[in-house]
Amino acid sequence: MWTRGEYWKTLTCITTCTLTDNPTYIWYKNGHKVKEDTSSLYSDSFSDADSYSCAVKNHEDHHSPAVCLQVKVTGGHQDKTLTCITTCTLTDNPTYIWYKNGQVVTEKTSLYSVYPNAVDSYFCAVKGHEDLHSPAVYKPKTSVSVSPSGEIVEGSSVTLTCSSDANLPVQSYTWWYKKNGGDYQSMTGPQHVFSQIQSSDTGEYYCQAQNEMGTDRSRTINMDVKYGPRNTSVSVSPSGEIVEDSSVTLTCSSDANPPVDKYTWYKKNGASLTGSENTFLITNINSEDSGEYYCEAESIYGSLNSSSVSVDVQC
């Protein structure tokens, strides 16, 4: 008898022969002895490709049939053919039972044709031995994660990982991404590492995992790379000659994500000026206002000064 656990399975060696007290059981894996114990139980992490049998010590020539049942998948992209394969000793013309999502769907030959989708799983059993059914096969159930979690700051190391819950091995992982509104591009592999991520890496990312049952797509990650102020500059309006008693506006511009939240204005060789907006208005300007002006743009990710501009007031 074979009972299934979440990760491990337990085999029980059952015999109808008359045995002495406390017999010793011998367990075989793929024809090789792996355990000898007085317990009739054997627990292990089982692979679909392995077969197991047991015998009572001193009666090794009367070992049990091997326990091994699995589903082989063949076919194209529209449809798949499932084949129930067993190494157990069976009667002639056994009846195979096919299950979809744990429910019996047909009793027929060892072949079963399906159109797999993202949620359905399939397994098989031999009639009369339903407790020895195969592991389930299904399309990958794909997810994606970002490390470290939280905000992504320019210059840091970021790893995207594509993972999949799939009983059948994943044959390929493909990442699809679209940066700053461009076209989608692809890259392969379960992981993608940005050793020093840049603002140009901002965009949409998702991955696809493929196995013999088909392909599944993860959710889309909108990766937003944060960075401090850069390209800070000052412009003067109106441009050209500045006449005494006119009004002049200085404007501080800076590229930052998130946007700059504080501006500080300075007159060269003087103290900082009043105001924290990105514009600085000088009304009724006079010759004493002539000089070099610059600004400082500041956000939570840093600050950056502009180069200075010259304001020359004509009398």
Q: What is the pLDDT of residues 33-74, one digit of tens each?
A: 888 888 888 877 665 456 677 888 887 776 665 555 677 787
Per DSSP, the residues of 215-246 read: EEE-PPEEE-EEEEEEEEEEEEES-S-EETT-
Interatomic CA distance for residues 236 and 167, integer angstroms: 66
CA 159 to chain centre: 10
CB 194 within 8 A of CB 203: no
pLDDT at 1: 31
User: CA quadruple 266, 270, 272, 273: dihedral positive or negative?
Assistant: negative
Interatomic CA distance for residues 239 and 250, integer angstroms: 10
Residue with tokens 């190494």: 87
Q: What is the pLDDT of residues 250-261, one digit of tens each?
A: 999 999 999 999
CB 198 within 8 A of CB 223: no
Interatomic CA distance for residues 136 and 267, integer angstroms: 74
Per-residue pLDDT of the chain (315 residues; tens, 9 = 90+): 333 333 356 777 877 666 667 888 888 876 778 888 888 888 776 654 566 778 888 877 766 655 556 777 877 767 888 988 876 666 677 888 999 999 998 887 888 888 877 688 899 988 887 777 888 889 888 999 999 988 999 999 999 999 988 778 899 999 999 887 778 899 999 999 999 999 999 999 999 999 988 889 999 999 999 999 999 999 999 888 888 889 999 999 999 999 999 999 999 887 778 778 899 999 999 888 899 999 999 999 999 999 999 999 887
Percent of the chain at pLDDT exceeding 90: 40
